[in-house]
Chain A
Amino acid sequence: MLKIEDLKIYYESKKGLVKAVDGVSIEVGEQETIGLVGESGSGKSTLGFGILKILPKTAQITGRILLDNINLVSKTEKEMQKIRGKEISMIFQDPMTSLNPIMKVKDHFLETIKTHIPDIEEDKALEMTENALKAVGINPNRINEYPFQFSGGMRQRVMIALSLVLNPKLVIADEPTTSLDVIVQAQILEVLKELKEKFQMSMILITHDLGVVAETADKIAVMYAGHVVEFAENEKIYYGAKHPYTKALLESIPNTDIDDLTLKYIPGNPPDLVNPSKGCRFAPRCPFAKDICFEEEPPVFEIDGSKVKCWIYKGDENGDG
Chain B
Amino acid sequence: MSLKQYIITRIILAVPMLFVILTIIFFILRIMPGDPVAAILGGKASIEVINKLRHELGLDKPLWLQYLDYLKNLFKGDFGKSTLTGRPVLSEVMDKFPATVELTLFAFVIAVTIGIFWGAEAARKKDKAVDVSARVFAILLYAIPVFWLGLMMQLIFGSYLRWFPVGGRISAFVDLKPITGLYLIDSLIQGNWEAFIDVLKHLILPGLTLGLVISSIFLRMVRNNAVLMYGQDFVKAARARGIREKDIKYKHALKNALVPIMTMMGLQFALLLGGAVLTETTFSWPGMGSFLVLRIRYRDFPAIQGTVVFFAFIIIVVSIIVDIVNALIDPRIRY
Q: Is A89 an interface residue (CB 8 A)?
A: yes
Within 8 A of A (CB), among B230-276: 232-234, 236-244, 247, 251-252, 255-256, 259
Give per-residue flags for A64-93: 1 if the beta carbon is below 8 A from chain B beta carbons, else 0.
Answer: 000000000000000011111110011011
Least CB distance from B324 to A in Å reads 15
Q: Is A159 an interface residue (CB 8 A)?
A: yes
Q: Are A98 and B243 in contact (CB under 8 A)?
A: no
Chain B neighbourhood of A97, CB < 8 A: 232-234
CB within 8 Å for A111 and B330 given contacts A92-B233, A97-B233, A159-B237: no
Q: Are A102 and B240 in contact (CB under 8 A)?
A: no
State the main secondary structure of chain B at its contact with A. Answer: helix
CB within 8 Å for A102 and B247 given contacts A54-B240, A84-B242, A116-B242: no
Q: What separation, in Å, do the CA atoms of A149 and B334 have in the docked complex?
A: 13
Residue of B nearest to A80 (CB): B242
CB within 8 Å for A85 and B242 given contacts A101-B332, A102-B329, A102-B331: yes
CB within 8 Å for A94 and B233 given contacts A100-B252, A111-B251: yes
Q: What separation, in Å, do the CA atoms of A99 and B256 have in the docked complex?
A: 12
Chain A neighbourhood of B259, CB < 8 A: 102
Q: Is A112 an interface residue (CB 8 A)?
A: yes
Chain B neighbourhood of A84, CB < 8 A: 239-242
State the main secondary structure of chain A at its contact with B. Answer: mixed
Chain A neighbourhood of B251, CB < 8 A: 100, 103, 111
Q: What separation, in Å, do the CA atoms of A97 and B238 have in the docked complex?
A: 12
Least CB distance from A130 to B in Å reads 18
Instruction: Find B243's partner among A94, A101, A111, A159 (CB 8 Å cutoff).
Output: A111
Least CB distance from B228 to A in Å reads 12
Residue of B nearest to A109 (CB): B241
Most central of A80, A82, A111 by chain B CB within 10 Å: A111
Instruction: Find A112's partner among B236, B243, B256, B335 (CB 8 Å cutoff).
Output: B243
Q: Is A241 an interface residue (CB 8 A)?
A: no
Q: Is A294 an interface residue (CB 8 A)?
A: no
Q: Are B241 and A85 in contact (CB under 8 A)?
A: yes
Not counting A84-B241, A97-B234, A112-B243, a sample of 20 additional A-B residue pairs whose C-beta atoms are within 8 angstroms of each other reads A54-B236, A82-B242, A83-B242, A85-B240, A85-B242, A89-B240, A90-B241, A97-B232, A97-B233, A98-B237, A100-B252, A101-B332, A102-B255, A102-B331, A115-B242, A116-B242, A146-B331, A146-B332, A148-B331, A162-B241
Q: Are B256 and A101 in contact (CB under 8 A)?
A: yes
Q: Are A100 and B256 in contact (CB under 8 A)?
A: yes
Q: What separation, in Å, do the CA atoms of A162 and B329 have in the docked complex?
A: 23
Q: Is A310 an interface residue (CB 8 A)?
A: no
Chain B neighbourhood of A82, CB < 8 A: 242
Q: Is A52 an interface residue (CB 8 A)?
A: yes
Residue of B nearest to A86 (CB): B242
CB within 8 Å for A92 and B236 given contacts A84-B241, A101-B332: yes
Q: Are A115 and B247 in contact (CB under 8 A)?
A: yes
Chain B neighbourhood of A81, CB < 8 A: 242-244
Q: What separation, in Å, do the CA atoms of A98 and B244 have in the docked complex?
A: 17
* A–B Cβ pairs within 8 angstroms, 20 of them: A52-B240, A80-B242, A86-B242, A89-B240, A90-B240, A92-B237, A97-B232, A98-B233, A98-B236, A100-B256, A101-B234, A102-B256, A102-B329, A103-B252, A111-B241, A112-B241, A112-B243, A146-B331, A159-B237, A162-B241
